[in-house]
């Protein structure tokens, strides 16, 4: 049995790690961008980002004032878990109080703040059933400067790969500097409308530089990364070589009459942390 208190503590520690310490693959990608950049303004912005990362980790404070909407991905094997949902909620509340996190969660109409980053259907918890005897929790604090630039298109089947690439480029151009580039672009293809956007978000959990295991999708990722970086939007939207650190694709089979395309944009602070519990 995995106890509620274990889920709470793991969620708390993962949230603390995620908002303070940028994953090493993301930090390395930003350093690489700095090393190849030629534009002076882009170098200034990338340098400021790297200094921000360094100070946050040294002082133990969040990388960004927007500590995100709490989104939790769970991979659940053949294990018994006591009050999984309540444990995650308690962990988020504890992180809000002790890290601390900015309370971001509000009623969508009255805008009344709940004060603890929990609320109706929040934290957003995605549970995937997997093999094995463990419980894996990934904390994904999603800032809304980037989230507000997500997009969905219910494309026609005949639009194919060109339609996908055109829509991704259109979405990135519309976002411009608003999501604090350099960004990571998640692309979800297929399924239903809601599934396409969920796939796009789950794509962002993969490490920078880790291509899709299927060659055809990996090739499409590389093509779209080149296409996005050719826009010249650059760091913070002020010009440069690096608009995106990576483009990630996840896909599902879909209905014969449709081609859903979801695009989920992540800012440079691509925060995530994963931990595993076993009985």
Residues 218, 221, 227, CA angle at the centre, nearest 5°? 145
Per-residue confidence (pLDDT) for residue 274, from 0 to 100: 98
Say how far apart CA 217 and CA 66 lie, in whole Å.
Answer: 32
Q: Write the pLDDT tens digit of every residue in 194-210.
A: 999 999 999 999 999 99
Percentage, residues of the chain above pLDDT 90: 100
Confidence of residue 242 (pLDDT cuts 50, 70, 90): very high
Model confidence at 114, pLDDT cuts 50, 70, 90, reads: very high
pLDDT tens for 245-260 read 999 999 999 999 999 9
Instruction: Answer yes or no: pTM beyond 0.95.
Output: yes
Between the two ends of the chain, the Cα-to-Cα distance in Å is 5
For 163, the token pair is 């339609």
> pLDDT tens, 157-203?
999 999 999 999 999 999 999 999 999 999 999 999 999 999 999 99
CA distances for 254 relative to 42, 189, 250, 261, angstroms: 40, 9, 13, 11
Please, which pLDDT band fits residue 55 given cuts at 50, 70 and 90? very high
Q: What would the mean pLDDT of 1-29 be, rounded to a whole number?
A: 98
E strands, the chain, are 69-76, 124-129, 135-142, 151-155, 183-191, 244-254, 259-266, 273-277
Please say whether the beta carbons of 72 and 139 come within 8 A: yes
> Under a CB-based contact definition with an 8 Å cutoff, are residues 245 and 30 in contact?
yes
Q: How confident is the model at residue 132 (pLDDT cuts 50, 70, 90)?
A: very high
| Radius of gyration from C-alpha coordinates of the chain | 19
218: nearest Cα among 230, 226, 210, 208:
210
The three-class DSSP label of residue 54 is: helix
Partners of 106 in the β-ladder = 113
Helix, coil or strand: residue 194: helix
Mean pLDDT, rounded, of the chain: 98
Residue 240's pLDDT band, with cuts at 50, 70 and 90, is very high
> Cα(129)–Cα(125) distance, rounded to whole angstroms?
13
Looking at residue 208, what is its pLDDT? Answer: 98
| Interior/surface letters 14-47, b for 16+ CB within 10 angstroms, e for the rest | bbbbbbbbbbeebbebbeebbeebebeebbebbe
| pLDDT number for residue 165 | 98
């Amino acid at each position: 049995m995995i106890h509620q208190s274990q889920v709470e503590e793991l969620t708390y520690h993962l949230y603390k790690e995620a908002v303070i310490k940028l994953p090493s693959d993301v930090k390395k990608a930003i350093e690489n961008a700095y090393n190849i950049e030629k534009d002076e303004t882009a170098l200034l912005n990338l340098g400021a980002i790297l200094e921000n990362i360094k100070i946050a980790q040294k002082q133990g404070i969040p990388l960004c004032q927007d500590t995100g909407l709490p989104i939790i991905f769970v991979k659940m094997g053949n294990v018994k878990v006591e009050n999984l949902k309540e444990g995650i909620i308690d962990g988020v509340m504890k992180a809000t109080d002790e890290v601390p996190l900015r309370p971001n969660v509000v009623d969508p109409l009255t805008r009344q703040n709940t004060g603890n980053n929990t609320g109706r259907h929040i934290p957003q918890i995605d549970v995937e059933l997997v093999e094995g005897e463990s419980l894996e929790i990934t904390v994904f604090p999603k800032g809304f400067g980037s989230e507000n630039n997500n997009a969905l298109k219910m494309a026609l089947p005949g639009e194919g790969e060109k339609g996908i690439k055109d829509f991704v480029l259109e979405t990135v151009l519309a976002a411009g500097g608003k999501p604090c580039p350099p960004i990571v672009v998640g692309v979800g293809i297929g399924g239903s409308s809601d599934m396409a956007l969920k796939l796009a978000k789950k794509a962002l959990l993969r490490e920078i530089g880790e291509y899709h295991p299927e060659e055809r999708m990996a090739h499409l990722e590389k093509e779209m990364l080149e296409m996005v970086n050719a826009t010249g939007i650059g760091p913070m939207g002020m010009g440069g070589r690096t608009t995106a650190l990576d483009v990630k694709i996840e896909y599902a089979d879909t209905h014969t009459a449709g081609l859903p395309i979801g695009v989920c944009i992540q800012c440079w602070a691509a925060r995530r942390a994963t931990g595993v519990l076993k009985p």
